[in-house]
Amino acid sequence: MTDIDSPDSVVRRWFDEVWNAGREDSIERLMAPNALVHGLGDEVMIGPAQFTTYYRAMRTALRPIEVTVVRTVVEGEMVVAHCHVTARHSGASLGGPQTGRTVDFWGMTMARVVDGQIVEGWNSFDFLKMFQQFGWVPNPPSP
């Protein structure tokens, strides 16, 4: 494995190229053909084609979007990326009208990387906070 194919490098390139630069072509290059994607919907997504549908909906709704990888932890072929997301809700592709509001939330991705490609990913992002910032979900009362 070269440094460019290391789990840390692949995941950092994923967020820089796919999300920040909007390079949809990087999905097929960085994601294995039968990769499994957990935690971004009700069903497990399989492969670049299913992920691309999700990606297009998110990129339509959140422009501009910036995902900053704050830190990573690597163990063998596994990497966890702690991410900070900022964006503007500029499209209606998430099931409601665009609000124009900015969002700021955090999340984590754990990915298994083999031969320079993501073969499985588990995602946990605070989408509830994002929807609260859209104004679609009320904030709970403070204790």
CATH number at residue 77: 3.10.450.50
Q: Is residue 124 one of the residues assigned to a domain?
A: yes
Adjacent-strand bridge partners of 31: 118
pLDDT at 81: 98
Strand, coil or helix: 96? coil
pLDDT at 65: 97
Q: Is residue 142 one of the residues assigned to a domain?
A: no
**Edge-first strand listing for the sheet containing 78-89:** 45-46, 31-38, 117-125, 102-114, 78-89, 62-75
Q: Is residue 106 one of the residues assigned to a domain?
A: yes
Torsion angles phi and psi, residue 94, rounded to 5: -105, 15
| pLDDT surpasses 90 at 118 | yes
d(CA 143, CA 135): 21
Torsion angles phi and psi, residue 140, rounded to 5: -70, 155
Range of the domain at 53: 3-134
Q: Is residue 140 one of the residues assigned to a domain?
A: no
Distance from first CA to last CA of the chain, Å, rounded?
50
- Is the link from the previous residue into 97 a cis peptide, with omega within 30 of 0? no
Q: Is residue 143 one of the residues assigned to a domain?
A: no
- Residue-wise pLDDT for 6-45, tens only, equals 999 999 999 999 999 999 999 999 999 999 999 999 999 9
How many domains, in total, are found in the chain? 1
- Among 110, 121, 39, which Cα is nearest to 79's? 110
> Which residue's structure tokens are 């204790």?
143
Mean pLDDT of the 56-74 span: 97
pLDDT at 141: 86
Q: Provide the whole-model pTM.
A: 0.93
Q: Is residue 68 one of the residues assigned to a domain?
A: yes
18 and 100 in contact (C-beta within 8 Å)? no
Q: Is residue 139 one of the residues assigned to a domain?
A: no
Mean pLDDT of the 130-141 span: 92
